[in-house]
Amino acid sequence: MNAQPDLLIARMQEGSEVAFTRIYERYQKALHGVIFAIVKKEDVAQEILQDVFIKIWKNADTYDSNSGRFFTWILNIARNASVDYLRSKRHKNSLKNLSSDNFVDIIVSKSDLDEQTNTMFVKQWVEKLEPMCIKIIDVIFFKGFTFKDGAEELDMPSGTLKTRHRKCLNSLREMMVN
Amino acid sequence: MDIQDTKNSGDLEAYVCGALTRQENMAIAKLVRENPELEEEVEAIERAYFKLAAGIAPAADEIAIYESIKGYIREGKAKSEDNHWSQYLGWAAAIVLLFGTSYMFYQNTELNDEMISIVQKNQILNVEVESLDSLNLDYKEALAFIKKPNTLKINLAGQGDHGTANAVVFHNKEQNITYLDITGLPDAPANMTYQLWSLTLNPLTPTNLGIVAVDNKNLIEFTNPNDTEAFGITLEEAGGSPTPTLERLYTLGAIE
């Protein structure tokens, strides 16, 4: 993945279906991962992924590149849709319990690891991460907590959380480069 | 805060994750926009998260999912086109209403103007009717006067150079009233006026009955208490003359 595809985004905002297709091709897998990390059910994750892209299409014109990354914008849509699902289904995991398990559990539980090169790499990287980093990335990236809420959840000052979050991601980035 | 400090702060990671407050987010977005090095860092962070998330995604039939999304979009598009149509209809209705109202206002203004002009015309016509009524009354009166058995009709014949001129006088001795019909007289020149005289013949004594006023009436009433034996009309300077100018005697007629 390279720089943000501003032109594609603009074309999609103008109503180009072709541009939307490219956006889908580019981002669907990452959003699928985020949704799956929250709802933890494959069939549900697929349904939500569809809804999320329909929302992206319908609300494309509300995205303003001056106020943030497109990735962040669609990430929020995906998280909100997933959390809404959990709420609406009165899922047995309340929001408070969202962090009781994390994205690593999903990787480990997946049966078709060998077929998923990406997943295999991710598993290797994640296994090398500090346990606290996994928690931090899970809460801040996947579950979309603010630093304030995340700090409460992980019981550490929010300033500390912010710098540790950076260190954890740097470790991940180093592993990815190698 | 310099670039390295910004990178180390953890704000850029938070920015990508959407974990900043709205204000912080706007501030970082501005910094990133203005600084290519920070933008590069943001993209690297985004790439790392992107890989992580994609690596977690379960295997799925991407094309089937997309086809399903496309179905919704097309359906929604058709619906939204309907919405557009109804939106346009709303606008169209608004525009029609606007033009309609403007047109009505214009029409109303025009009608008001027209009404004012009609009222004015009506007033003018009323005045005309009044004057015609009064003229009619005058003629009725004159006719009644002429029809009286003791009213005499005297033809005044053209005199000298004015042989083609003529006038008719209706005189009632008992009522002391004389009517003059000037239809047969040529128009008086500018600054001149016709004057009617009552004459007694022996000796010839003219008495002024009055000047012939220039108006739309051809039948003019004079008070005439004289023992008139003949009538004469002369052309005089505007305003009339105390004695008739005999060189300009137009018509003359005696009571038989």
Domains of chain A and CATH, by start? 1-92 (1.10.1740.10), 94-178 (1.10.10.10)
Using CA atoms, how far apart are residues B138 and A97, in angstroms rounded to an integer? 114
B243 and B216 share one domain: yes
Beta strand B177-181 pairing with B166-172: antiparallel
For residue B63, being part of any structural domain is answered with no
Q: Locate tokens 């009781």: which residue?
A: A100
Tell me what pLDDT residue B22 has.
85
- Residue in chain B closest to A112 (alpha carbons) equals B59
Residues of chain B with pLDDT under 70: 1, 76-87, 214-217
One DSSP character per residue, A103-131 reads HHHHHHH-S-GGG-HHHHHHHHHHHHS-H
Domain stop point among B30, B57, B84? B57
**Residues 109-138 in B contacting A (C-alpha not used; CB under 8 Å):** none
Using CA atoms, how far apart are residues A171 and A105, in angstroms rounded to an integer? 20
Tell me what pLDDT residue A114 has.
46
Inter-chain CB proximity B13 and A173 less than 8 Å: no
Inter-chain CB proximity B65 and A50 less than 8 Å: yes
B164 and B208 share one domain: yes
Name the residue among A33, A71, A146 with its Cβ closest to that of B46: A71
B161 and B122 share one domain: no
Query: What is this model's ipTM?
Result: 0.88
B170-179 tens-digit pLDDT: 999 988 999 9
- Residue A131: asked if its preceding bond is cis (omega within 30°), the reply is no
Which element (helix H / strand E) includes B191?
none
For residue B164, being part of any structural domain is answered with yes
CA distance A125 to chain B (A): 9
Q: Measuring CA to CA, which residue among B222, B16, B60 is closest to residue A46?
A: B60
B112 and B44 share one domain: no
Helices A158-177 + B36-56 axis angle, to 10: 80
B26-78 tens-digit pLDDT: 999 999 989 999 999 999 999 999 999 998 888 888 888 888 888 888 876 66
B11 and B93 share one domain: no
Tell me what pLDDT residue B195 has.
93
Q: Could you give the C-alpha distances from A178 to A15, A121, A174, in angstroms and in order?
A: 40, 11, 6
Residue A128 structure tokens: 């090398």
B155 and B247 share one domain: yes
Inter-chain CB proximity A71 and B44 less than 8 Å: no
Tell me what pLDDT residue B117 has.
80
**Residues 57-76 in B contacting A (C-alpha not used; CB under 8 Å):** 57-60, 62, 65-66, 68-70, 72-73, 76
CA distance A93 to chain B (A): 20
Q: Locate tokens 């999320």: which residue?
A: A52
B50 and B82 share one domain: no
B140 and B225 share one domain: no
Domain stop point among B147, B177, B192? B147
B24 and B101 share one domain: no
Tell me what pLDDT residue A95 has.
52
Q: What's the domain count of chain B?
A: 3
Tell me what pLDDT residue A99 has.
47
For residue B65, being part of any structural domain is answered with no
B247 and B204 share one domain: yes
Helix (H, G, I), strand (E, B) or coil at B129: helix
Inter-chain CB proximity A67 and B56 less than 8 Å: no
Residues of chain A with pLDDT under 70: 1-2, 89-101, 106-119
Which element (helix H / strand E) includes B226?
none
Tell me what pLDDT residue B152 has.
92
Which residues are within 8 A (CB) of A159 and not within 5 positions of it... i.e. 6 or more apart?
none
B122 and B49 share one domain: no
Tell me what pLDDT residue A140 has.
92
Tell me what pLDDT residue A115 has.
47
Using CA atoms, how far apart are residues B111 and A70, in angstroms rounded to an integer? 61
B199: region left, alpha or beta (phi > 0 left; psi from -120 to 50 alpha):
beta
Residues of chain B contacting residue A173, judged by C-beta atoms under 8 Å apart: 44-45, 48
Domain span at B87: 71-147
Q: Measuring CA to CA, which residue among B226, B195, B225 is closest to residue B212?
A: B195
Tell me what pLDDT residue B135 has.
73
Residue pair A50/A93 in contact by the 8 Å Cβ criterion: no
Domain stop point among B124, B147, B170? B147
B46 and B136 share one domain: no
